[in-house]
Amino acid sequence: MAEAAPREENYENSMKKMENCNKDLEKLLEEMEKITVRAAWMTYNIVTIHTNPGLANSMKRLEDSFLRCKEQVERKWQEVLQE
């Protein structure tokens, strides 16, 4: 009977370690999936830009316009907050 308690504790500890290991593996798998998707999009973007060089200029202008717009919205929002 004295040996039953340590075995149960060892079993419970082993099960907890396995659960933690499974959670860690799931998190790593999710991160790998995210990285894979990012790499795929980067590859797609590179191929698209090399296929159509004018697209890079258009994308840059679009990004610049977006940043200017974002800046204006933030500035207006700060004005509204100050009122």
pLDDT value of residue 1: 47
pLDDT value of residue 4: 56
What is the tens place of the pLDDT at every residue in 11-68?
888 889 999 999 999 999 999 999 999 999 999 888 877 888 788 788 889 999 999 9
pLDDT value of residue 56: 78
Amino acid at 22: N
pLDDT value of residue 9: 82
Q: How confident is the model at residue 70 (pLDDT cuts 50, 70, 90)?
A: very high
Q: Which runs of consecutive H residues, i.e. helices, occur in the chain?
A: 4-51, 53-82
In 3D space, the residue among 31, 32, 56, 34 whose CA is nearest the CA of residue 45 turns out to be 56
